[in-house]
Structure 1
Amino acid sequence: MENLQSIEQFEALTQQQTVFVFSAGWCPDCTFIDPFMPEVEQKFSDYTFIKINRDDFIDLCAQLDVFGIPSFVAFKNGEEVGRFVNRDRKTQEQIEAFLTAL
């Protein structure tokens, strides 16, 4: 999964089918999902998955009301089409159910 590099990149990626994964290296619930995310990305290959480090993009998190991590916000054609945002640990099954519902 590629890491977000800039706000400009974020804005460009919202025009595509993109799922942004908000996380932080110090977050145990964020590192919990790391082992199975490649499989999730493969199953949902019609989306581009981009990791956003919460600490590097705190203003973007506030703008999008993302206060718990890990969290997922999906965009398509410039519009938000779904979000799975809370402070809870997320399982592979929960993430896949969210993505299926998009």
Structure 2
Amino acid sequence: MRKLQSTEEFKQLAADEAAVFMFTAGWCPDCRVIDPIMPEIEEKFGDLVFVSVDRDEFIDLCGELGIFGIPSFLAFKNSEEVGRFVSKDRKTQEEIEAFLTKLPQ
């Protein structure tokens, strides 16, 4: 999974790609639980670009997007938000895949 480098990169990916942003932090135990399953999920949903966003590095962006709990997922396509799986609860592989399956093609 690629790591977000700048707010400008976020805007570009959201505009140009079908992108799923995973909001996370190094200190988040629930985020570490899903890290090992993400490569399999990325492989299953190869038409999407997955981007890791460090909540502590991009706290202002998280505030603008209403991301207050992590891990959380936000999907964009052509600069439009097309899906949101945002909560402070631990997420299972099944829940993440169900969220991704419901995204518009």
Tell me the TM-score range normalised by the shorter chain: over 0.9
**TM-score for both structures, normalised by structure 2:** 0.96
The residue type paired with residue 69 of structure 2 is: G
**TM-score for both structures, normalised by structure 1:** 0.99
> Counterparts of 1:32 and 1:67 in 2: how far apart (Å)?
19
Match of 2:86 in 1: 85
Match of 2:28 in 1: 27
Decide which structure has greater helix share: 2
Match of 1:6 in 2: 6
- Moved beyond 3 Å, runs of 4+: none
Identity value in percent: 65
> Counterparts of 2:85 and 2:70 in 1: how far apart (Å)?
10
Match of 2:74 in 1: 73
Match of 2:63 in 1: 62
* RMSD of aligned alpha carbons: 0.4
Q: CA deviation at 1:87?
A: 0.2
SS at match of 1:94: helix
- Where do 5+ consecutive residues of structure 1 fail to align? none
